Amino acid sequence: KNQEVNQKMMPPNILLALIIAHDLVNTSAFIHSSHKKSPCRNTNIEQKNAKQIYIQQITAPTTRTTRLMLGDFFNFDKKKDVEPRAEANEKEANTNAVDEDPIEKIFSFFFGKPEEEPMGMKRFNSQTFPEQYPGTKTEFADPLSSDNPDMARIRPLLKNTNLETRAMKLTYDAKKMGWDPEIFHGAVDKLGGGVVVCTTTDGLVCGGYNPKGWVGYGEARGSIAAFLFVLDSANSGTSGLTKLLKVGGPGLAQMDLPESGPSFSPDALVIPMSRYDPKAARSKLGSYYERFEDGGNSLFGDESKVQLRDLKVYHGIYKEGEYIPFTDAEPFALY
């Protein structure tokens, strides 16, 4: 027991020296005993045989029961188990490195791999916050079983928006509720992002998506995800849908004026609902929203001002108590 305690307390280099010395002492004793017992007079042969036996002992695989061996210090037996894990970790690190941008790589070098949800907050990307990025023209939302025929026509346009997978409801119908700004804001304010769909007296169906919704505080509400659209027109192409994205940054995407109806920027799609001409609408593209591919600068084709026969607004359906985004003033919001 004292010997075991001393071995545990000794430094590894001293223990290793003692083990080798112990082997040399045993070998010397063996040679000495061979000299005594051998009747052979040729001492040179005896020394040669003893030397060969010693070499065999130190080179043969050991079966000793000594407490501490080299493996206890260098962990040779576990080397094969560690290598595959290291290779897997290296592959995982390389895979993550491909997905990281230069800033993330620098951060990871000094502070380690970023957490998925630091302090419970989701990271900023196009999946978690899609409306912080411009709209898409190459992807389309899947239909929902809850959509009526009118909603189904505009559903494909809502890809990468907060309404992409959310059921919608009709919140304002000018024909039934009246062409009046006060009625309009009473129906749509503080309900989150909404879709405006209007039909001209010539049958053209067009409108826009307002990600920030309305609150009626007289603000210019900005959003890079806002867009205008046209259904079934000469400019809509073969798909029957034309999507015109926000340009010039997010600012002035929606002019939220309590004395006016929906107004996408000061000029792109404006429906003032004035007392003397409540169904008038005007459009001029290029400053805040894209023009058509052929250079057309009016949502209504060749006309810059038209009369509407229908105007509807759709909002997402939220459960009771569920958070509705953008339901208050944003005096400093330019995104």
* pLDDT tens-digit map of 28-50: 555 555 555 445 455 666 666 76
Q: Give the distance from CA 240 to its chain's centroid.
A: 32
Check whether 205 has a pLDDT greater than 80: yes
Structure tokens belonging to residue 261: 């109806």
Q: Indicate whether 234 pLDDT > 50.
A: no
- Give burial (CB, 10 Å; 0-12/13-18/19+) of 310: middle
Whole-number Å distance between alpha carbons of 191 and 314: 10
Task: Quickly state the pLDDT bin for 229 (edges 50, 70, 90).
Answer: very high
- 306 beta partners: 281
The DSSP annotation for 172-212 comes to EEHHHH-S-HHHHHHHHBTS-SEEEEEEETT--EEEEEETT
**Residue type, position 90, single letter:** E
Share of the chain above pLDDT 90, in %: 53
CA 275/CA 269 separation, integer angstroms: 18
Phi then psi for residue 47, to 5 deg, are -65, -40
Mean pLDDT, residues 278-292 taken together: 97
| pLDDT given for residue 23 in this prediction | 62
pLDDT tens for each residue of 55-91:
666 555 555 554 555 555 555 555 444 445 555 555 5
Q: What is the mean pLDDT of residues 130-142?
A: 87
Structure confidence by residue, pLDDT tens digits, 249-272: 999 999 999 999 999 999 999 999
pLDDT tops 80 at residue 173: yes
| Residue 316, helix vs strand vs coil | strand
Tell me if residue 93 falls in helix, strand or coil.
helix
Tokens of 3: 């010997």
